[in-house]
């Protein structure tokens, strides 16, 4: 049974996939889907309750929350996808280098990773954002860098294990050069696990972007970010709960979607990984 | 055993030195400076220069680094730049609160997570299993700062059962601990479920069942015991995550812990205070992982002790 | 009140007795604990190390200066009973007799000299050393007489001595406690220190040996609650009697609710959008004026500040000595047509994307701001950004944390056109703001002329006013400065802060002060 067939049998994973597609569509089609310009203010309609004009209500500037949630999908997806790419590519490179080089280089790299892992992650992200400046791209980089150490560890572990494994040993004995060894034997074994990890990481990346924006270190106005929307909405939580609740739900649904897909992929691609990533 | 512990602790020293170096470098590279921030809008250039000199901030980076390391080696964490107070005293004030919160969250997460995971595994694909799995996915997917806000509205404002924020009594601890624990409950429940399921499929469990050993005993003696190793690994990792997540929880609930202390130190560019706090975090992280590794050996003597 | 310099220092002080003998209204109750929630913990309780509000709110109740500012921002006696101007650079104060510090040691001229020497000549000097202009120190004349000396004639000296951070400390306690003094200060005030648990609370209690009217409540607890929403809930559930920085959105409901009282008064901080006058296109006064016409300040006050701030009538707040109404409503009403017309006169025409352009250059302005430094600063920045767009001006906002904003504002070069900032005139004297903000020699990195505006006439006027001891003349000079600024407009003044404190209705006798630091609690009592 191939992976897609296994994935398709998982109803929760399909729900997740549908949500991810929905998210992607709303990000791509935002200008057509959103009833209003997400930056259009109407101060007099501040904190309007959900109703006919504003389906999900309006925020503290009288901006349409539905439109901002739709546009916010762009930031969430952009940060999620790009930062996963940074984490995966960076981790893959470092992990392969460490795994192959061994010796003192490996030892130094592992110590350096431990330093990063011993760092409270939010502090690390805070520091990166503070150093690079705020903004969508810098937030993405910060989130991506945060993911590098874990990926490096996973890749290095796999490389070490595979290198010792018999078939690679055999390939080496036959004189296969390292790049070919990497391409033919090691990458195919690592990639499924990385795809799974990447998907689950996207879920965490969306959460971390939201957390950074919540602390005021994320995207810049008037760009709509869900985390920023919760952050500014919390001041009026008691008089207008919808301002913070709606974007909070959006974060939850998006993260849930990626978690469902990630779980489904794991079960489908590599049943041995179940519960271990 | 003892040599193992000593070796591990010695190996932690370069890590801690590195952590201090990275923290200090980061703060140095960040725009903004502790003294101008402290003296505020009205300060004259001269006053800023004088205070910088007094605090030794005009010295080169490496000199300050070696200075700091030397002092820490003698057991002196220095004085915070902004408050001019011993960092040790600041940490002593904040550390117990974070410990209390993290331990409470860890206990909640472990008890609820393992109970839910085992219950799920015993009757896989039952209604309870479905609900528990979905619930744990939601737990993983909710932003911690948002969960906190929602809990405050429900339990403090609407029901008026629990205080809004601050520390002091057990009732103050409930909401932040639950908030912080939620994602970990989910992780632990998932892990427990799959670990117990795996063990239940093993031959020796089947044999035990076939021999007529009661279901409860099978669970307790075999399944749970063997499932404990992956769960323990996860707990080690989770405690690191919990301490990190505490920054947000402490902000939302006004919890007087290390997380808030660190955020404050970053915003004030108080690198002496920040370094002290990060050192404690890093040390705790190292110790927790050491304890986790040691307990592997206790739970399963077959596992060797490789550093 | 004797005053040998006749014209000098016109009747600012009234004999101390007048303040003390005011009959107490109603049936005051003694006792009880007043619980106050506020967003942040103090940096320190020693004014030498702390000039910001979180510390000042607490130590203002424990430490007293020679003079103080009353709720009408007038100078009133505190530990001094009278003064006499000896020369343009020397003022002699008679001190209140039989006053004791909380540690039992006597208050005297030596303590005054000790406090000011420690602050101005210590290493490092006090955090407020930059706030006191030309003040040089104190000289002991006899046990209860002290001379305050300035380096040059300094018009604002009395208001400076009345600042919240000028409290006299016990020399014995400072010497005994060393660095620990900053966590447990000893002064002469109506309350004395009990306990400070970092990031949790500070407790102070009534000083039973106070020289004046003794405080009415037994103790005051200042709790830290960073979340605005959480502070409001604490008030509603009764966990707190008083909330500093209440949520503006909830004030309308609180004002109607008989269970609560909202205390409010116009503050002395002006929050504004600064314009970098040295950088094109804002070096053109027509562009600056156009930006003023583009901003609907009333909509901001009504919908973002929601009654928690007053209109900004100029660069100074109305309570400040030397303030003059700059007539902004009349000169620069909200009028998009006029904004566009002024931009047209300056050569800017609408471009294809709706943004104004001139010679192929789009009218795009870069804007630096922090969020949470001043009430709703991030929000007003976002709102004005949208308003600019309506007249074809693009604003690219960069919101950074305060440390980074601060550094760039004070840097020798500033690469943004606009910035959001607030300025409080702590001693309520125009010198404090007009000299620091508009004198060309205070252009960063030296000072806070962050608009980088240079006008020799203003330089001359603020210098003359600073050196004059004739208050009428000073007022006239400052008026002229503000007339010039009203034409030049290097700021968009957005609002004047209101000081607002929400309390439970049972909190009586509390008088809110226009200067946010001056949180006086000794007349407050609890009717529970």
DSSP string, B87-129: HHHHHHHHHHHHHHHHHHHHHHHHHHHHHHHHHHHHSTTSHHH
**C-alpha distance from residue C460 to each of A11, C456, C463, C481 (Å):** 79, 6, 5, 10
Residue C187 has pLDDT above 60, yes or no: yes
Set of chain A residues whose Cβ sits within 8 Å of the Cβ of B262:
120, 123
What mean pLDDT do residues C84-92 have? 92
Q: Which chains touch B (3 or more CB pairs under 8 A)?
A: A, C
In tens, the pLDDT along C409-451 reads: 888 888 899 999 999 888 899 999 999 899 999 888 778 899 9
Closest CA to C232 of C203, C269, C257: C257
C225: distance to nearest CA of chain B, Å? 5
B233: distance to nearest CA of chain A, Å? 10
Q: What is the pLDDT of residue B197?
A: 80
pTM comes to 0.82
DSSP character at residue B155: I
Closest CA to C34 of C502, C517, C525: C525
B137: distance to nearest CA of chain A, Å? 7
Overall size of chain C counted in residues: 528
Compare CB distances from B244 to A120, A214, A275 and report the shortest one's residue. A120
Strand, helix or coil for residue B161 = coil
Going by pLDDT thresholds of 50, 70 and 90, the confidence category of residue C91 is very high
DSSP character at residue C123: S
Q: Map C295-324 to HEC letters.
A: CCHHHHHHHHHCCCEEECCCCCCCCCECCC
CB-CB under 8 Å, C436 with B157: no
Query: What does pLDDT average to over chain C?
Result: 89
Q: How far apart are CA C127 and CA C133, in angstroms?
A: 13
CB B22 within 8 A of CB B74: no
A20 CB-side CA count, 13 A? 23
CB C63 within 8 A of CB C72: no
Q: What is the pLDDT of residue A172?
A: 61
Q: Helix A136-164 to helix A103-118 angle, to the nearest 10 degrees? A: 140
Q: How far apart are CA C64 and CA C62, in angstroms?
A: 7
Q: Which two tokens stand for residue B151?
A: 């809990």
Q: Which two tokens stand for residue C169?
A: 């400390």
**Interface check B163 vs C, CB under 8 A:** yes
Contacts of C237 (CB under 8 A, 6+ apart): B156, B160, B163, B164
**Interface check B262 vs A, CB under 8 A:** yes
Q: Which residues of C38-53 are buried (b: 16+ CB within 10 A; e: fewer)?
A: bbbbbbbbbbbbbbbb
Q: Which of C133, C160, C198 is best to mutate for the B interface (most B CBs within 10 A)?
A: C198
CB C36 within 8 A of CB B166: no
B208 CB-side CA count, 13 A? 18
DSSP string, C386-409: HHHHHTT-EEEEEE--HHHHHHHH
DSSP character at residue C515: S
Name the more confident of C21 and C248: C248
Out of A129-143, C25-39, C460-474, pick the least confident. Answer: A129-143
Going edge to edge, which strands form the sheet with C135-142? C80-87, C90-95, C145-150, C135-142
Residue C16 has pLDDT above 60, yes or no: no
Task: Give the residue from chain A lying closest to B239, CA to CA.
Answer: A120
Q: What is the pLDDT of residue B299?
A: 64
**C-alpha distance from residue C30 to each of C217, C218, C222, C423 (Å):** 6, 7, 19, 38
Contacts of C230 (CB under 8 A, 6+ apart): B152, B156, B164, B165, B252, B253, B254
CB-CB under 8 Å, A130 with B266: yes
Strand, helix or coil for residue A25 = helix
Strand, helix or coil for residue C418 = strand
Q: What is the pLDDT of residue C257?
A: 94
Q: What is the pLDDT of residue B300?
A: 60
Name the percent of chain C lying above pLDDT 90. Answer: 69
CB C217 within 8 A of CB C526: yes
DSSP character at residue B79: B
Portion 91-130 of A in contact with B at CB < 8 A: 111-112, 114-123, 126-127, 130
Going by pLDDT thresholds of 50, 70 and 90, the confidence category of residue B142 is confident
Contacts of C459 (CB under 8 A, 6+ apart): C439, C440, C441
Strand C491-504 and strand C260-275: pairing? Answer: antiparallel
Give the N- to C-terminal CA distance of chain B in Å, as an integer.
11
CB-CB under 8 Å, C404 with A62: no
Task: Name the helix (H) or strand (E) containing C168.
Answer: none
**Interface check A238 vs B, CB under 8 A:** yes
Which residues in chain A land under pLDDT 50?
Answer: 273-277
CB-CB under 8 Å, C233 with B156: yes
Residue C4 has pLDDT above 50, yes or no: no
Out of B162-166, B179-183, C176-180, C234-238, pick the least confident. Answer: B162-166
Q: For the beta carbon of residue A208, count every other beta carbon within 10 angstroms.
A: 25
DSSP character at residue C455: -
Q: Which two tokens stand for residue B212?
A: 């007529």
A26: distance to nearest CA of chain B, Å? 20
Going by pLDDT thresholds of 50, 70 and 90, the confidence category of residue C499 is very high
Dihedral angle over CA of A120, A123, A128, A131, nearest 10: -140
C483 CB-side CA count, 13 A? 8
Compare CB distances from A214 to B18, B19, B145 and report the shortest one's residue. B145
Task: Name the helix (H) or strand (E) containing C149.
Answer: strand C145-150
Name the more confident of A131 and B21: B21
**C-alpha distance from residue C417 to each of A130, C9, C369 (Å):** 22, 41, 11
CB C135 within 8 A of CB C115: no
Task: Name the helix (H) or strand (E) containing C77.
Answer: strand C75-77
Task: Give the residue from chain A lying closest to B234, CA to CA.
Answer: A276
The verdict on ipTM greater than 0.90 is no
How many Cβ pairs within 8 Å bridge chains B and C? 133
B44: distance to nearest CA of chain C, Å? 6
Compare CB distances from C131 to B42, B82, B268 and report the shortest one's residue. B42
In tens, the pLDDT along A220-273 reads: 778 888 988 888 887 787 788 889 889 999 999 999 999 889 888 877 876 554
Task: Name the helix (H) or strand (E) containing B228.
Answer: helix B224-253
Q: Is the dihedral of CA C427, C431, C436, C437 positive or negative?
A: positive
**Interface check B158 vs C, CB under 8 A:** no
Out of A232-241, C70-79, C333-342, C472-481, pick the least confident. Answer: A232-241
Closest CA to C270 of C25, C514, C24: C514
Contacts of B17 (CB under 8 A, 6+ apart): B69
Q: For the beta carbon of residue B22, count every other beta carbon within 10 angstroms.
A: 19
Going by pLDDT thresholds of 50, 70 and 90, the confidence category of residue C21 is very low
A61: distance to nearest CA of chain C, Å? 7
Q: Helix A136-164 to helix A121-132 angle, to the nearest 10 degrees? A: 130
In tens, the pLDDT along B146-204 reads: 888 888 778 877 777 777 666 667 777 888 888 888 888 888 888 888 778 877 777 77
Contacts of A226 (CB under 8 A, 6+ apart): A69, A72, A75, A76, A210, A213, A247, A248, A250, A251, A254
Q: Map B241-290 to HEC letters.
A: HHHHHHHHHHHHHCCCCHHHHHHHHHHHCCHHHHHHHHHHHHHHHHHHHH
Going by pLDDT thresholds of 50, 70 and 90, the confidence category of residue C131 is confident
**Interface check B261 vs C, CB under 8 A:** yes
């Amino acid at each position: 049974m191939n992976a897609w067939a296994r994935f398709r049998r998982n109803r929760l994973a399909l729900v997740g996939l549908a949500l991810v597609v929905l998210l992607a569509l709303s990000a791509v089609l935002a200008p057509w889907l959103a009833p209003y310009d997400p930056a259009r203010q109407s101060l007099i309609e501040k904190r309007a309750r959900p109703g006919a004009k504003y389906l999900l209500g309006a925020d503290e500037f009288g901006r349409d929350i539905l439109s901002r949630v739709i546009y916010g999908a762009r930031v969430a997806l952009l940060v999620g996808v790009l930062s996963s790419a940074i984490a995966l590519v960076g981790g893959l490179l470092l992990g392969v280098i460490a795994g192959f080089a061994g010796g003192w280089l490996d030892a130094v790299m592992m110590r350096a990773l431990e330093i990063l892992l011993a760092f409270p992650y939010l502090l690390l992200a805070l520091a990166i954002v503070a150093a690079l400046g705020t903004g969508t791209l810098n937030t993405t980089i910060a989130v991506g860098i945060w993911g590098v150490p874990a990926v490096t560890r996973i890749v290095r572990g796999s490389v070490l294990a595979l290198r010792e494994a018999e078939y690679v040993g055999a390939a080496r004995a036959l004189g296969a050069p390292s790049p070919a060894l990497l391409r033919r034997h090691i990458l195919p074994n690592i990639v499924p696990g990385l795809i799974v990890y990447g998907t689950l990481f996207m879920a965490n990346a969306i959460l971390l972007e939201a957390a950074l924006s919540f602390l005021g270190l994320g995207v810049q106005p008037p760009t709509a970010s869900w985390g920023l929307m919760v952050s500014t909405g919390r001041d009026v939580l008691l008089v207008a709960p919808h301002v913070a609740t709606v974007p909070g739900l959006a974060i939850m649904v998006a993260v849930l979607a990626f978690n469902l897909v990630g779980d489904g992929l794991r079960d489908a691609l590599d049943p041995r990984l179940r519960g271990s990533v | 055993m003892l040599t193992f512990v000593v070796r591990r602790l010695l190996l932690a020293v370069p890590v801690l030195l590195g952590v201090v170096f990275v923290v200090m470098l980061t703060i140095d590279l960040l725009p903004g400076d502790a003294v101008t921030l402290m003296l505020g809008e009205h300060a004259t250039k001269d006053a800023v220069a004088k205070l910088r000199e007094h605090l030794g901030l005009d010295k080169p980076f490496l000199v300050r680094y070696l200075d700091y390391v030397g002092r820490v080696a003698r057991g002196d964490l220095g004085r915070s730049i902004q408050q001019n107070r011993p960092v040790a005293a600041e940490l002593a004030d904040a550390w117990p609160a974070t410990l209390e919160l993290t331990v409470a969250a860890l206990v909640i997460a472990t008890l609820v997570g393992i109970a839910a995971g085992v219950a799920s595994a015993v009757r896989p694909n039952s209604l309870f299993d479905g609900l528990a799995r979905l619930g744990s996915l939601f737990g993983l997917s909710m932003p911690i700062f948002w969960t906190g806000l929602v809990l405050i509205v429900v339990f403090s404002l609407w029901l008026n059962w629990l205080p809004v924020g601050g520390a002091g009594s057990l009732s103050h601890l409930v909401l932040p601990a639950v908030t912080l624990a939620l994602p970990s409950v989910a992780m632990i429940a998932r892990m427990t479920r799959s670990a117990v399921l795996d063990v239940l499929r093993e031959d020796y469990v089947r044999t035990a069942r076939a021999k007529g050993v009661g279901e409860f005993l099978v669970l307790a003696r075999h399944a749970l015991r063997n499932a404990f190793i992956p769960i323990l690994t996860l707990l080690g990792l989770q405690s690191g995550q919990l301490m990190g997540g505490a920054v947000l929880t402490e902000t939302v609930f006004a919890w007087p812990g290390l997380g808030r202390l660190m955020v404050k130190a970053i915003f004030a560019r108080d690198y002496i205070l920040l370094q002290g706090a990060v050192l404690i975090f890093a040390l705790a992280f190292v110790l927790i992982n050491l304890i986790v590794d040691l307990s592997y050996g206790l739970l399963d003597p077959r596992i060797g002790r490789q550093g | 009140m004797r005053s040998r310099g006749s014209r000098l220092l016109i009747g600012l002080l009234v004999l101390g007795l007048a303040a003390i003998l005011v009959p107490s209204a109603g049936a005051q109750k003694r006792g009880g604990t007043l619980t106050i929630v506020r967003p942040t913990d103090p940096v320190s309780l020693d004014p030498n190390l702390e000039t910001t509000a979180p510390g000042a709110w607490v130590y203002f109740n424990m430490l007293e200066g020679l003079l103080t500012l009353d709720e009408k921002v007038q100078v009133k006696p505190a530990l001094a009973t009278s003064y006499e101007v000896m020369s343009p650079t020397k003022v002699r104060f008679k001190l209140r007799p039989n006053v004791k510090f909380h540690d039992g040691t006597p208050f005297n001229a030596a303590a005054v000299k000790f406090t000011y020497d420690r602050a101005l000549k210590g290493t490092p000097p006090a955090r407020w050393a930059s706030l006191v202009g030309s003040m040089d120190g104190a000289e002991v004349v006899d046990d209860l007489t002290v001379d305050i000396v300035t380096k040059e004639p300094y018009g604002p000296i009395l208001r400076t001595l009345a600042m919240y951070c000028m409290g006299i400390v016990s020399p014995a306690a400072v010497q005994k406690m060393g660095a620990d003094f900053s966590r447990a200060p000893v002064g002469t005030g109506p309350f004395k220190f009990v306990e400070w648990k970092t990031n949790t609370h500070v407790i102070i209690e009534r000083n039973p040996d106070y020289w004046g009217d003794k405080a009415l409540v037994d103790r005051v607890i200042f709790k830290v609650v960073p979340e605005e929403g959480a502070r409001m809930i604490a008030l509603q559930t009764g966990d707190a009697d008083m909330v500093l920085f209440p949520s503006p959105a909830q004030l309308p409901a609180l004002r109607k609710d008989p269970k609560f009282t909202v205390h409010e008064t116009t503050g002395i901080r002006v929050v504004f959008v600064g314009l970098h006058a040295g950088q094109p296109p804002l070096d053109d006064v027509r562009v600056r004026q156009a930006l003023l016409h583009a901003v609907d300040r009333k909509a901001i006050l009504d919908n973002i500040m929601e009654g928690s701030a007053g209109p900004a009538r100029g660069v100074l707040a109305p309570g400040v000595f030397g303030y003059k109404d700059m007539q902004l409503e009349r000169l620069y009403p909200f009028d998009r047509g006029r904004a566009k017309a002024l931009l047209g006169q300056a050569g800017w025409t609408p471009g294809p994307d709706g943004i104004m352009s001139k010679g192929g250059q789009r009218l795009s302005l870069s804007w630096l701001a922090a969020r949470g430094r001043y009430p709703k600063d991030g929000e007003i920045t976002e709102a004005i950004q949208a308003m600019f767009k309506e007249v074809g001006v693009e604003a690219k906002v960069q919101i950074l944390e305060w440390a980074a904003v601060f550094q760039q504002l004070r840097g020798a070069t500033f690469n943004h056109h606009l910035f959001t900032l607030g300025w409080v005139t702590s001693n309520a004297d125009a010198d404090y703001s007009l000299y620091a903000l508009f004198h060309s020699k205070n252009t960063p990195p030296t000072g806070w002329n962050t608009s980088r505006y240079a006008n020799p006439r203003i330089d001359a006027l603020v210098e003359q006013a600073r050196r004059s001891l004739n208050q009428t003349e000073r007022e006239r000079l400052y008026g002229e400065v503000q007339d010039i600024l009203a034409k030049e407009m290097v700021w968009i003044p957005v609002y004047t802060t209101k000081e607002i404190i929400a309390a439970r209705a049972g909190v009586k006798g509390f008088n809110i002060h226009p200067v946010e630091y001056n949180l006086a609690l000794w007349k407050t009592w609890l009717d529970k």
